């Protein structure tokens, strides 16, 4: 599937915007399930979570590093998890945040899309566009670029004010910025690094229509501004609605924009998959996913 188009279709035709994060700690679930090995534990747990939530999920997002931390068996479990997601017809977004130069970037693309079989990945653009070009070149695969992240330390670099002229901004936006949009960019007392990233992604790197942006739910005002800058069709991955304390209603309204047409994935990981540590873990995850689905839908309705 073309990842970004499929997310847009599921948003607009099916009313699905919940992304279920699978940050599965193999050691914890092995103890919880009393499984004989890590592979059995992860695949049993993830399979149950997926089955319990798929009636309200738009996509699933396994986090690469939780699986690699468990070695070869964890990697095998990740392959199984992605295959199961895809088998059921859902988009599989690998949360990996890679970004490197030259031949390494080529290998990253092969790992994400060929070896693991994911439909998309989060990427880190700090090294510049050429560092993620092999990923961008996978026209069907999604490249979800780190923009304004949910962690408290994101301001350390992402909020740094830059000396950017109006001519620079017009170049970033390929001459499409209107005066009202310029005022939006400058309302934070200057142009910030994350805003430059958003413009670069939307207007320079998105030639295949396969780019998105990560904008954390802990910063709904930035999400609102970002949506106004990039338009409705650039998908936003909005993490941290659950355990990290993101503002649900404000983030939903900001990410979809004033017309409600903005393409967005609202990710919840621990609050769903970790809703219970007992034998009812899958049932609890299903109920929590339903709650988030209803809350997101209600926020859109307002």
Residue 302 to residue 299: CA distance in whole angstroms = 5
10 Å CB burial of residue 89 (0-12, 13-18, 19+) is exposed
The two three-digit tokens of residue 47, written as one number: 């399979």
- The stretches of the chain forming alpha helices (DSSP H) are 3-14, 26-33, 38-53, 64-68, 71-87, 102-109, 129-136, 155-158, 166-172, 179-185, 193-200, 220-230, 248-256, 270-273, 281-301
Q: How many CB atoms are located within 10 Å of the residue 104 CB?
A: 12
- Taking CA atoms, 14 is separated from 7, 18, 40, 157, 160, in Å, by 10, 11, 33, 37, 39
Residue 236 phi/psi, 5-degree rounding, is: -110, 130
CB contact set of 84 (below 8 Å; sequence gap of 6+):
46, 47, 50
Count Cα atoms within 13 angstroms, Cβ side, for 231.
Answer: 12
Give yes or no: 97 in active site: yes
Sheet (strand 93-94) strand order: 57-62, 18-22, 264-268, 236-238, 211-215, 142-148, 120-123, 93-94
Catalytic residue selected from 61, 97, 148, 253: 97
User: Looking at beta carbons, which pairs linking 156-159 to residues 24 or more positions away fall under 8 Å?
Assistant: 157/193, 158/192, 158/193, 158/194, 158/197, 159/192, 159/193, 159/194
- For the annotated catalytic residues, the residue numbers are 97
């Amino acid at each position: 599937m073309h990842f970004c188009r499929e997310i847009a279709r599921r948003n607009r035709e099916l009313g699905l915007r919940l992304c279920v994060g699978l940050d599965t700690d193999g050691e914890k679930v092995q103890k919880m399930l009393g499984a004989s090995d890590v592979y059995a534990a992860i695949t049993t747990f993830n399979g149950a979570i997926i089955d319990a939530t798929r009636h309200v999920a738009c996509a699933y997002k396994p986090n690469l590093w939780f699986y690699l931390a468990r070695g070869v068996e964890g990697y095998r479990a990740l392959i199984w998890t992605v295959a199961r997601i895809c088998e059921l017809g859902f988009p599989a977004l690998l949360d990996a945040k890679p970004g490197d130069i030259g031949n390494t970037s080529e290998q990253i693309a092969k790992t994400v899309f060929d070896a693991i079989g994911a439909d998309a990945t989060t990427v880190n653009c700090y090294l510049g566009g050429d560092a993620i070009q092999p990923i961008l070149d996978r026209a069907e695969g999604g490249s979800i670029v780190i923009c304004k992240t949910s962690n408290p330390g994101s301001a350390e670099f992402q909020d740094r004010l830059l000396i950017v002229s109006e001519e620079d901004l017009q170049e970033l936006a390929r001459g499409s910025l209107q005066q009202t949009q310029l005022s939006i960019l400058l309302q934070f007392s200057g142009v910030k690094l994350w805003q430059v990233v958003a413009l670069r992604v939307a207007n320079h790197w998105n030639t295949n229509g396969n780019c998105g942006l990560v904008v954390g739910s802990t910063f709904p005002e930035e999400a609102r501004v970002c949506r106004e800058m990039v338009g409705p069709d650039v998908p936003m991955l909005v993490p941290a609605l659950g355990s990290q304390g993101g503002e649900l209603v404000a983030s939903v309204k900001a990410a979809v924009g004033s017309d409600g047409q903005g393409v967005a994935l609202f990710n919840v990981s621990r609050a769903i998959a970790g809703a219970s540590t007992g034998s009812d873990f899958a049932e609890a995850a299903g109920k929590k996913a339903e709650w988030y689905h209803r809350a997101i839908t209600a926020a859109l309705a307002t």
